[in-house]
Amino acid sequence: MRKRSKIQRVVFIGLVCLLPPAGPISGQQGDFVGINQQVRAFQNRPPLSQNQASKKLWAWTENGGFPYVEIYHFPAEAGSRYTLVLTYAADKARRRIIITGENPFSDEKLQLPQGARTCYPQDLTTHPAPAGAAPCRETRRFNFTVEAKSNTRGLYLVCLAREPAAALEFRLKFPADPDADVKAYTAMPDCAWLGKIYWGKIVDDPIFMAAVIPPPPADKPELVSLYIKRQGEMLIGNIQKFIVPAGMKAYKFHAANQINSETKGWRIFHSGSDGREKVDYEYGLFPDLNTKQTVEKNRPPLGTLILPPGSYYVNISGREGSTLNLDYYLKISPLP
């Protein structure tokens, strides 16, 4: 007779996540955590009070029933698949996690297509040790996909506990472990006496990363201007960040540069889910070794570039004193 782990049973009373229609608390974004970064949560945090929480977050704590809260923010990307791995002691502390594409700090209405699911909650259970055996360190892992049609970037992990001493470690892995490994009936790591159990789970529905409904559109698109000046040979000071707010898009880009270099260039990029730079646009003048002429690289054509909500960076090459003026318009992006 196969033993089934309690991880297969999830019971939530009074917890409301946005299902198909019917880090610490710091700032309004949570602690930013990189993909594949190991994190230890619940280290002497004070309990959350109602006046510190959004109505949504307070409901997720069961109105203070899980008062110890930490929130972490990942640079997840739409369409990517991840494995969340959690480890914790087999003690009497009661823990809960919520994987969510909603901003837990905000009660603003969200842009949600029909059938979208924004969060996945899970109680973290334990296995009591038999007489004479040492308690195991519990391990859980969950495979899930971020909805490809999400309308913003960023994924949150909300960690909840009833007791203050409820240490928890986690890591969001990319690429994800194979589904066959995660859902396999195998021995949990470092727990020989427990035998084979199901200690992993496949999340069936993709998690939708949801942007808030933007304010009413202005009479005309908003013009944004950036000015970047190269200082010395280091990248510091030569990179400028800009943000396309949720519910908006950036378009009609125009640039003018005074870059003092024979091979001058500049680019727009963002950080991908794997922590690497993803180039959205690049421009440069490069010598062609065959024709001895200068070749211009402009891809995609700057006038066709459209950027969805997210954080972006601009950097320029060239000698000290080189400059770039970049203009673009922000406009309300239609609902998907």
Residue 127 resides in a domain: yes
Share of the chain above pLDDT 90, in %: 51
- The b-or-e profile of 98-135 (16+ CB within 10 A means b, else e) is bbbbbbbbeeeebbbeeebbbbbbbebbbbeeeeeeee
Q: How many CB atoms are closer than 10 A to CB 153? A: 23
Residue 209 resides in a domain: no
- Across the range 213-238, mean pLDDT stands at 69
227 and 139 assigned to the same domain:
no
Banded pLDDT at 312 (limits 50, 70, 90):
very high
Banded pLDDT at 19 (limits 50, 70, 90):
very low
* Tokens coding 316: 């320029």
Does residue 253 have a pLDDT over 90? yes
DSSP structural state of residue 308: -
Q: How many CB atoms are closer than 10 A to CB 234? A: 8
List pLDDT tens digits, range 100-127.
Answer: 999 999 898 898 898 999 999 999 999 9
d(CA 191, CA 89): 12
| Pairing relationship of beta strands 168-173 and 39-41 according to DSSP bridges | antiparallel
56 and 180 assigned to the same domain:
yes
* Tokens coding 240: 């400028």
List pLDDT tens digits, range 72-84.
Answer: 999 999 999 999 9
Would the pTM of this model clear 0.85, i.e. be above it? no
CATH of the domain at 236: 2.60.120
Banded pLDDT at 246 (limits 50, 70, 90):
confident
Poorest-pLDDT segment among 82-91, 149-158, 250-259: 250-259
pLDDT score at 219: 53
pLDDT score at 263: 62
Q: What is the mean pLDDT of the chain?
A: 84
Does residue 2 have a pLDDT over 90? no
pLDDT score at 7: 42
List pLDDT tens digits, range 169-195.
Answer: 999 999 999 999 999 999 999 888 999
pLDDT score at 164: 87
Residue 24 resides in a domain: yes
pLDDT score at 262: 64
Poorest-pLDDT segment among 50-54, 70-74, 174-178, 274-278: 274-278
237 and 295 assigned to the same domain:
yes
CB 45 within 8 A of CB 164: yes
pLDDT score at 227: 86
pLDDT score at 59: 96
Please identify, among 146, 169, 202, the residue that sits at the C-terminal boundary of a domain. Answer: 202
148 and 36 assigned to the same domain:
yes
pLDDT score at 238: 67
65 and 149 assigned to the same domain:
yes
Tell me how far CA of residue 226 lies from CA of 76, 217, 240, 316, in angstroms. Answer: 27, 23, 8, 12
How many Cα atoms are found within 13 Å in the side-chain-facing hemisphere of 9? 6
Q: Where are the alpha helices (DSSP H) in 101-241?
A: 179-182
Q: Which of 109, 102, 107, 111 is nearest to 54 (CA)?
A: 107
Residue 217 resides in a domain: no
* Tokens coding 187: 């021995």
Q: Which of 184, 210, 208 is nearest to 197 (CA)?
A: 184
141 and 239 assigned to the same domain:
no
Poorest-pLDDT segment among 23-32, 121-130, 218-227, 253-262: 23-32
Share of the chain above pLDDT 70, in %: 83
Q: Which residue range is the domain that position 194 belongs to? A: 6-202
CB 35 within 8 A of CB 273: yes
pLDDT score at 217: 56
142 and 244 assigned to the same domain:
no
pLDDT score at 63: 94
Which strands form 81-89's sheet, in the order they lie side by side?
A: 39-41, 168-173, 81-89, 137-145, 200-202
* Tokens coding 328: 């673009």
